[in-house]
Structure 1
């Protein structure tokens, strides 16, 4: 699933193509509900921005398109007449201005909303602070981690809860916890505030660096992958063989270093095989 940094980059490209320009053609198709995007024809696009894993495209008539990519969706930007890199039947949304064509492929969620409804719209109103927001509040993220309903969650699950902080997915879960030396199977209640704040700060640094914003050390390039998709390979810090096990409601594999990320409560099924 594309994560907060990927959505930020998508939004930057879409904004560059559409902001300040009039929509000359618009169409959408299923599966699922099809928004009445014809209402956007002749309307100026105000801009595009990401909110966690959501992309919002706003228009001067008070409407906004919301897209959520889930696992397989993507956004492409083309010049008029340029060949598309995916089949037209996969297009969920097409927006055209004079000099660009913006296409969403395969997103399960494309919907047209009123901008004034965004603050109370459940998929957005319930989100935690966005890690890529320049005004991100780490103490608010800590407060949400400390919700009693999350006390018994593993940190590997809780860090991806978008109601705690928006933007972390499976990739940055792995890399954040490794850099913090935190075992992904530790329960939130067993982590002190300093450990949780270090997790928050590290996740934010990783996402910022990934999109070209300076992290806490002034580095602005995509970080190296230490553990993600590296089960069975030697740890790049200590040489210990990385292990993995299924975790979370979607039972995807989580990989960690037993030496760099020690902890109790690891599943007996942990192994050092490469994830499928």
Structure 2
């Protein structure tokens, strides 16, 4: 599932492929995007910049136009050369942005909107994001304060609140808690200052390690290149996520999984290491 690291890598790859190039063709099956393109065509505009903010991606075009997308659970961006066969069905296509030598294709993207700089400031959820774990100006003390402000929530659930920390999803939630040796079901109010600092620091560390230039720059969703253990063996990439019933990589205790939060998302943990 796409999380902040996936979106960051996708944005970086699109930036390298498209930035500074002129759009020669725009195609979409989404009526609202098509209407904007009819009134203010994308063709002829320059791709100025592509950036990630948490799980959101923003593609900036000349003339104050921004394409905002969110992958949710199933969306992805691919890049192709002209004439290259697509890896997904055309029925899954939502947006095509073509330049002289590259096609950027969004497949099954559930959220895609055009904005100006002003309208973007009013976009709910985007304008409420906490510090981006992958942002250059990530503020650990401020993030600790945001965590502390949710004292009645459990740690694992709080890590999914993008207004607290922008970027983590269900995989990183479980992995961060394990790496910090903290019970994901503990209330935030029960955590010490040192523990909250450990959470913010480790969250940043794990996310950053997954967007290095050696972590994979193909536009791939889900967990293809994601690692939290630091181990090279692809079968030992993660500490606990998706490993219910298997032995903990540290102590050998069976990994457990429970539903957590209002959305009943799965949380994986070691009952021994995270007591």
TM-score, structure 2 as length reference = 0.88
The answer to whether residue 186 in structure 2 is matched with residue 186 in structure 1 is yes
The answer to whether residue 103 in structure 2 is matched with residue 98 in structure 1 is no
Shift in Å at residue 37 of structure 1?
A: 3.6
Partner of 1:126: 128
Partner of 2:155: 155
CA distance in 2, matches of 1:144, 1:33: 35
Residues 147-176 of structure 1 show CA distances to partners (whole Å, capped at 9, x for unaligned) of: 2xx221110100110000100101111111
The answer to whether residue 23 in structure 2 is matched with residue 18 in structure 1 is no
Could you say what secondary structure the match of 2:57 adopts?
A: strand
Partner of 2:234: none
CA distance in 2, matches of 1:230, 1:33: 42
Partner of 1:145: 147
CA distance in 1, matches of 2:73, 2:42: 27
Could you say what secondary structure the match of 1:40 adopts?
A: coil
Q: How does 1:1-276 map to 2 (within 5 A)?
A: 1-30=1-30, 33-35=32-34, 36-38=36-38, 39-147=41-149, 150-212=150-212, 222-224=227-229, 225-262=238-275
CA distance in 2, matches of 1:103, 1:37: 16
| Ranges in structure 2 where 5+ consecutive residues have no aligned partner | 215-225, 230-237
Runs of 4+ in 1 over 4 A off after TM superposition: none
Kept in 2, the 8 Å contact 1:58–1:115? The answer is no
TM-score, structure 1 as length reference = 0.88
Partner of 1:274: none
Residues 77-110 of structure 1 show CA distances to partners (whole Å, capped at 9, x for unaligned) of: 0000000000111111100000000000001100
The aligned length equals 253
Could you say what secondary structure the match of 1:57 adopts?
A: strand
Kept in 2, the 8 Å contact 1:62–1:116? The answer is no
The answer to which structure, 1 or 2, has the higher relative contact order (CA under 8 A, 6+ apart) is 2
CA distance in 1, matches of 2:172, 2:213: 16
Kept in 2, the 8 Å contact 1:37–1:112? The answer is no
Shift in Å at residue 33 of structure 1?
A: 4.2
Shift in Å at residue 213 of structure 1?
A: 6.9
Could you say what secondary structure the match of 2:131 adopts?
A: coil
Kept in 2, the 8 Å contact 1:91–1:106? The answer is yes
CA distance in 2, matches of 1:28, 1:159: 34
Aligned residues: CA RMSD = 1.6
Could you say what secondary structure the match of 2:63 adopts?
A: coil
Partner of 1:271: none
